[in-house]
Homo-oligomer: A and B are copies of this chain.
């Protein structure tokens, strides 16, 4: 229900085509709102029909034409209204937590490599976040409102990854303890 709003924010930050948006959703925006190109194209058409965004056909040489969208007045009004609505409770889907509880009825050791893979990918993500922070928000630089808000969201991502890494270490230690005593 809020993909429209995520797209609007992205188009306000920078106009772009459906394809470009899909790539953004693979990178920056996708950190907190995922979407495939199918969803994006479909929602873009609906948003254009509703007047939330305006499209401009752009011919390119050596590449297919593209439709560049940008946020229109009604879109900004809709975003403003949405901002003032309370957020609906998020639906949680924490598969690893389910697996950890499931491991009690199977071999806890079977989860170790899985958790280690998670640990690696979260460590890599943290490194990327930290590099992005140094690049975009170097210490002591003056930031405008938009940058301040982007930075606080990024700090949230960084703290989330740090917390997750520490927890995964805790999980690994627990699994090792259980398999060590299980094979005694």
User: Using a CB–CB distance below 8 Å, which chain A residues touch chain B?
Assistant: 2, 5-6, 8-9, 12-13, 29-34, 76, 79-80, 82-84, 86-88, 90-106, 108, 110-111, 114, 117-118, 145-146, 148-153, 155-156, 159-160, 162-163, 166-167, 170-171, 174, 177-178, 182
Is there contact, CB below 8 Å, between B106 and A83? Answer: yes
Closest to A87 in B: B95
Is there contact, CB below 8 Å, between A101 and B9? Answer: yes
Is there contact, CB below 8 Å, between A32 and B97? Answer: yes
CB distance from A89 to the nearest CB of B (A): 8
5 smallest CB-CB distances across A and B, nearest first, come from A32-B94, A32-B97, A104-B146, A163-B163, A152-B174
Is there contact, CB below 8 Å, between A103 and B174? Answer: no
Q: Provided the pairs A108-B145, A149-B108 are in contact, do residues A30 and B92 lie with their beta carbons within 8 angstroms?
A: yes
Is there contact, CB below 8 Å, between A5 and B83? Answer: no
**Inter-chain contacts of A31 with B (CB < 8 A):** 92, 94, 97
Q: Provided the pairs A12-B105, A32-B98, A110-B83 are in contact, do residues A152 and B166 lie with their beta carbons within 8 angstroms?
A: no
Closest to A28 in B: B101
The CA of A82 and the CA of B94, in the complex, are separated in Å by 15
Q: Provided the pairs A84-B110, A111-B83, A114-B86 are in contact, do residues A145 and B99 lie with their beta carbons within 8 angstroms?
A: no
Is there contact, CB below 8 Å, between A98 and B160? Answer: no
Is there contact, CB below 8 Å, between A2 and B149? Answer: no
**Inter-chain contacts of A100 with B (CB < 8 A):** 149, 152-153
Is there contact, CB below 8 Å, between A96 and B106? Answer: no
The CA of A31 and the CA of B96, in the complex, are separated in Å by 12
**Inter-chain contacts of A148 with B (CB < 8 A):** 174, 177-178
Is there contact, CB below 8 Å, between B76 and A105? Answer: yes
**Inter-chain contacts of A88 with B (CB < 8 A):** 95
